[in-house]
Amino acid sequence: MFDFNFPNLNDKQREAVFTTDGPVLILAGAGSGKTTVLINRVAYLIGAKNVYPYKILTITFTNKAAAELKSRLNGMLGELGDNVWASTFHSLCVRILRRDIDKLDYPSSFNIFDRADQLTVIKECQKEMGLDEKMYPAKSVLSHIGRAKDELMTPEDYKSQFEGDLRLSKVADIYKLYQTKLKKYGSLDFDDIIMLTVKLFEEYPQVLEYYQNRFQYIMVDEYQDTNHAQYRLVSLMAGLHKNLCVVGDDDQSIYKFRGANIENILSFEKQYTGAKVIKLEENYRSTQNILDAANNVIQNNVGRKGKKLWTSRGKGEKVKIINAQNEHDEGQKIAEKILDMCAMEGCSYNDFAILYRTNAQSRVIENMFLRNAVPYRVLGGLRFFDRKEIKDVLAYMRLINNPNDNVSLKRIINEPKRGIGKKTVDDTEIESARSGKSMFEVCNSATGKIKAFADMINEIKAKELSVSEMVEEVLNKTGYLQALIDENTVEATTRIENIKELVTDAVEYEKSEETEEHTLSGYLEKISLVADVDNYDETQEVVVLMTMHSAKGLEFPIVFIAGMEEGIFPGYQSSFSQEELEEERRLCYVAITRAKKELYISHTFSRTLYGTTTYNKPSRFLGEIPSKLLESEFSKAFDFKPSNEIKQTVFKSVNLASGKPAKLNSEEYKAGERIRHKKFGDGTILKATPVGDDMHLEVMFDTVGTKNLMAAYVKLEKI
């Protein structure tokens, strides 16, 4: 018999489990057992309070977290756990939309476009509107549209807000046409999923009422990472019973660049009067020295609730500092340390994680690992489902699932080559636009090769096949597999192996117990909603390399934080904004608290990055850790003092004593001016804002999109 007094939980965890009614904010510090609390809270509601499992909704941020929650619930409650809704925001909303999206004039068999598909549609819009892509880079436009959707802004809202800004007003026009095309193609992009669910709830009260009645208790994990659309969705769904429990850590809010709004968690008590706040501060992951380092760093932030992590696991090792001459020396020392610990201390390669601020830092570390035969993998590299051959096969399946999907049709109408030229495809697209029909409908009523293509798709669609059988039918019927066999190259062999793995993935989907029905729509949806972290396999015998952002939610026995230098972490731009600096400090807190047993922090005397060599001081975050917690590794020196000669060469405009830029020369910058950057090329200044003795420039470059630059730190040439 399960003990619902939860003797294995600490007092604060039990309080969080037993406080079930009304609004509750659980401030869960890193490693404080929040997942355990969430699971036991659900078990308590079902086992002790007799709440029907299907009346409980738990929202997580990753499929992995949702799967773990369901698995552990099943272990505690048996089959009862199956009826709890545990899913990510996007999975939840897709499920809601499949049922009712027809009310918004979308097909229930809608496809979900990935980033590559979205860019294709943006470029279609620009072509139709006669816009120069250099002036409106597709990636930049898509980023603006994504942020608008995070804020629940329609194209009309966006136009109204930025009608005085010529460039953003034009982005609003692209946004409007982009949405028109998505609807015509019967498809959604990732940001539509939540935005349209909110729209459905707001325009159809009976649909909202159904879900408000359905879910008596709602729990949201990682609440500090929610954006405005997610906040609105949760507010609507919890509007009836108000039994909303949010779990999060304001000190781990690090996704502002994705639209996350830290105010959602900081102002929770203002929105929900009488909300109960419970702090979980006992850490079960790290040693006290690691936690003290994290506590001392994060206490310098002003915008936080305030808590202090502690553990009963003992002080543990001091934080080790690696002083390196340059990035090559840094990578070599990290590799040597890992090899020594594996040889002398019995560590495994999967005990180690290397964290860095920017992806560009990984190149030299990878080179040093290759040179020293250290096995590794980079988390966040090319995903399996992003490979060309996989995207091709899935495009066939998406077209079969939704014949209105013009993007998928254009991708595979001549893949493999079947003699359908670009002009034929362009003519088909023109006829589609003229007639209002989908391109597939135009193909259906045509003759010759494009008619043969349509007949082939119809023939596959007409067969009653399982998902895995359909993958195999597509491979054989379309000639895709045979074309790779005929190619007879090493690359083609690798692609064939990847395609076989796709068949295996489809078979595994059919065997999974996550859903009762294993449909084509369901499979395509599963693939669209998978995240990099969901694919992380901690049992793989390799060192894992990743950005600090990717590491959130993970933990490792031994962590190396590389590049802890001013200008790298924190970056120079964040040094002039309190808000940006506090987000960087939260990122540092997240990085430190990934370590369970040992933490190594490295910095270099000089570093070449993006083709420029700089001489940076150790990071201010390193300076915020008391020296009694630190121990130097490889050399005695820690707080090195650059010589006067070096001071004079650093950027030629940086005062190292203050860490601030020296006064600019007489060169002034204004919006509308054209400039040239050594790395990014030519661009137009959109906005020039004085910041102290420096100037913040927002520049739209012709080839790489919009960049934010501090004028004192970059060499710009007016053109």
Residue tagged active-site, from 35, 154, 161, 424 = 35
Interatomic CA distance for residues 120 and 123, integer angstroms = 5
Which 8-state DSSP code applies to residue 82? Answer: G
Helix (H, G, I), strand (E, B) or coil at 326: coil
Instruction: Specify the pairing of strand 24-28 against strand 276-280.
Output: parallel
SS3 247: strand
Contact 420, 413 (CB under 8 A): yes
Told to judge if 336 belongs to the known catalytic residues of this protein, a careful annotator would answer no
Q: Helix or strand or coil: residue 28? A: strand
**Helical segments of 569-655, H only:** 578-592, 620-623, 644-649
Half-sphere exposure of 169 (CA within 13 A, CB side): 6
How far apart, in whole angstroms, are the C-alpha atoms of residue 394 and residue 390?
A: 6
**Radius of gyration from C-alpha coordinates of the chain:** 27
Could you confirm whether 252 is annotated as catalytic? yes
Strand order in the sheet with 217-220: 85-88, 56-60, 217-220, 244-248, 24-28, 276-280
Which residue out of 150, 189, 221, 249 is catalytically annotated? 221
**Of the listed 526, 594, 596, 607, which one is catalytic?**
594
Closest CA to 569 of 591, 551, 550: 591
The reply to whether 222 belongs to the active site is yes
CB atoms under 10 Å from CB of 226, counted, come to: 26
Using alpha carbons only, what angle is made at residue 241 by residues 20 and 38, rounded to the nearest 5 degrees? 35
The 3-state DSSP class for residue 463 equals: coil
d(CA 588, CA 687): 30
Catalytic choice (224, 252, 311, 604): 252
Q: CA-CA distances (angstroms) from residue 371 to 335, 344, 542?
A: 9, 20, 15
Report helix, strand or coil for 618: strand
Distance CA 204, CA 254 (A): 34
Helix (H) or strand (E) holding 211: helix 205-214
Query: How far, in Å, CA of 205 to CA of 421, rounded?
Result: 49
Is 35 annotated as catalytic?
A: yes
Query: Which residues have a Cβ under 8 Å from the Cβ of 627 and sit 6 or more positions away?
Result: none
- Residue 607 annotated in active site: no
DSSP letter string over 488-525? -SHHHHHHHHHHHHHHHHHHHHHH-SS-S---HHHHHH
Spatial distance between the Cα atoms of 94 and 200, rounded to a whole number of angstroms: 12
Catalytic entry in 34, 70, 357, 495: 34
Catalytic residue among 100, 124, 191, 222: 222
DSSP code per residue over 226-240: --HHHHHHHHHHTTT
Q: Provide the phi-psi class of 611: left if phi over 0, else alpha when psi is between -120 and 50, else beta.
A: left
Whether the link from the prior residue into 416 is cis, omega within 30° of 0, is: yes
Provide the token pair at 528.
């669209």
Catalytic residue check, 147: no
Return the structure tokens found at 453: 């293509």
Residues classed as catalytic = 34-35, 221-222, 252, 594
